[in-house]
């Protein structure tokens, strides 16, 4: 039986778990549309299910800091939903594929900590490390994954979601993993 978003949310609500939503924020030719992510979050908001968003920055054919305005816009759009829906971590897309630093940030909440995603970006840019290569950073009070949490991969291919599942050492048999693409 295939699991649906509805049953996934119900399970999280019953167990008081958090949905860890992995999302690739991508600037392609200077454009990004955060409305897709905001639409994905609507059902969670309606069901009062907590969502920790883990953003992976992917910048194609743009100036190196092209994602800054989109992260700022997203953070502002999420303000009314705090503390239930929030950005938990931020990382360059480079770390999506093969680095255990992302494991420490997401699973343990152990990475450089910043009060906001905007501040995390500013710090990285000040070090001349831009979007794709920004090291994983934890935002605000995020403390990592708990046993009753679930995982949702949005705008990831099934292959990329599988790779990240392996890096994060998620048990595929006990974790519900949903993927959706734009």
Quote the Cα angle for 106-110-112, to 5°.
105
Please, which pLDDT band fits residue 46 given cuts at 50, 70 and 90?
Answer: very high
The full set of domains in the chain, from first to last, is 5-180 (3.40.1450.10)
**pLDDT tens, 50-96?**
999 999 888 877 787 888 888 999 999 999 998 899 999 999 888 76
pTM passes above 0.85: yes
- According to the model, what pLDDT value does residue 29 have? 47
Task: Quote the DSSP letter at residue 136.
Answer: P
Band of pLDDT at residue 164, cut at 50, 70 and 90: confident
Burial of 124 (0-12, 13-18, 19+ CB in 10 A): buried
CB 19 within 8 A of CB 175: no
Residue 169 main-chain phi, psi, to 5 deg: 60, 40
CA max distance for the chain: 49
User: Over the stretch 115-163, which tens digit does the pLDDT of each residue have?
Assistant: 999 999 999 999 999 888 899 999 999 999 998 898 888 877 777 777 7
What value does the mean pLDDT take over residues 38-56? 93
pLDDT of residue 1: 35
């Amino acid at each position: 039986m295939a699991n649906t978003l509805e049953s996934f949310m119900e399970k999280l609500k019953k167990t008081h778990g958090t949905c860890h939503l992995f999302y690739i924020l991508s600037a392609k030719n200077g454009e990004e549309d955060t409305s897709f992510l905001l639409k994905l979050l609507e059902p969670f908001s309606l069901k009062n299910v907590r969502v920790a968003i883990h953003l992976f920055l992917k910048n194609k054919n743009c100036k190196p800091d092209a994602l800054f305005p989109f992260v700022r816009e997203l953070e502002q759009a999420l303000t009314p939903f705090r503390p239930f829906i929030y950005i938990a971590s931020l990382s360059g897309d480079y770390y999506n594929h093969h680095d255990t630093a992302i494991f420490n940030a997401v699973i343990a909440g152990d990475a450089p900590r910043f009060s906001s995603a905007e501040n995390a970006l500013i710090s990285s840019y000040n070090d001349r490390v831009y979007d794709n290569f920004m090291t994983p950073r934890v935002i605000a009070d995020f403390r990592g994954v708990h046993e009753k949490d679930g995982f949702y991969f949005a705008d990831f291919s099934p292959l990329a979601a599988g790779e990240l599942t392996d890096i994060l050492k998620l048990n595929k048999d006990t974790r519900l993993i949903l993927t959706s693409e734009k």
